[in-house]
Amino acid sequence: MRGPILISTAFALAVPLAASWAAAPAVVQVQVVDERGLPVRDAVVELTPNGGWRGGAIRFGWKSAMAQKGVAFVPGTLVVAKGTAVAFPNLDSVRHSVYSFSKAARFEIDLYGRDQTRSQNFPIAGTVAVGCNIHDQMRGYIRVVDTPFAGKTDQNGIVRLTGMAAGGYQLTVWHPRARTPGGELKRALAVGAGQGNQKIALKLK
């Protein structure tokens, strides 16, 4: 994907930078909107500490599963930690396969039927686009991350990331329709104690 990403004129770094940062974990709220100012749902937002995450195993509060239901992948975008095995349960009455040609994961799972499940491990961080060999309309995305501070935006384009210590981070926003290489926006972010707000506008195709 090519083309510019617009940073909204409303973009403001509102993370408090106190003279003495407290040890309490910070909260950063990010809102992602399109070039018209409308909320962008299911954009993945990540905060990675400078130098990388070194705090041990990463676990999220949602299931590491992408079901096949209604001839679609559900959820359409899934965030998982690097090294996670993702389950692909088939909840349809027809058979499905799962495949990807993405750089972060190249694999193919043969056709399987209703109430059967197959799994695939994702050891490399990045974006994995998945499909079904016999249902071309089926598209899903797995965003494999190497930080515990990650999530998807809701219907209002908002995600809240919590638990960060004060310090320097890289903020990454990803969406499959963002008009930028890899669908990513990256920028440095200094996180302090308290709550900060970021508003980012993506130009979508």
pLDDT per residue rounded down to tens, the chain (205 residues):
333 333 332 322 333 333 233 456 788 999 999 999 999 999 999 999 999 999 999 999 999 999 999 999 999 999 999 999 999 999 999 999 999 999 999 999 999 999 999 999 999 999 999 999 999 999 999 999 999 999 999 999 999 999 999 899 999 999 999 999 999 999 999 988 666 788 888 888 7
Question: Virtual CA dihedral for 193, 15, 201, 61, nearest 10 degrees?
Answer: 10
Residue type, 75: P
Q: Does domain 26-53+147-202 have CATH number 2.60.40.1120?
A: yes
Q: Measure the CA–CA gap between 8 and 6, rounded to whole angstroms.
A: 6
Q: Do domains 26-53+147-202 and 67-145 have the same CATH topology?
A: yes
Q: What architecture (CATH level 2) is domain 67-145?
A: Sandwich (2.60)
Going across the sheet that includes 135-145, the strands are 77-81, 135-145, 126-132, 96-102, 105-112
Q: Measure the CA–CA gap between 129 and 104, rounded to whole angstroms.
A: 9
Q: Map tokens 């384009």 to a residue.
A: 157
Nearest to 87 by CA among 148, 142, 150, 136: 142
Q: Measure the CA–CA gap between 23 and 166, rounded to whole angstroms.
A: 7
Give domain limits for the chain.
26-53+147-202, 67-145
Question: Virtual CA dihedral for 44, 35, 39, 148, nearest 10 degrees?
Answer: 20
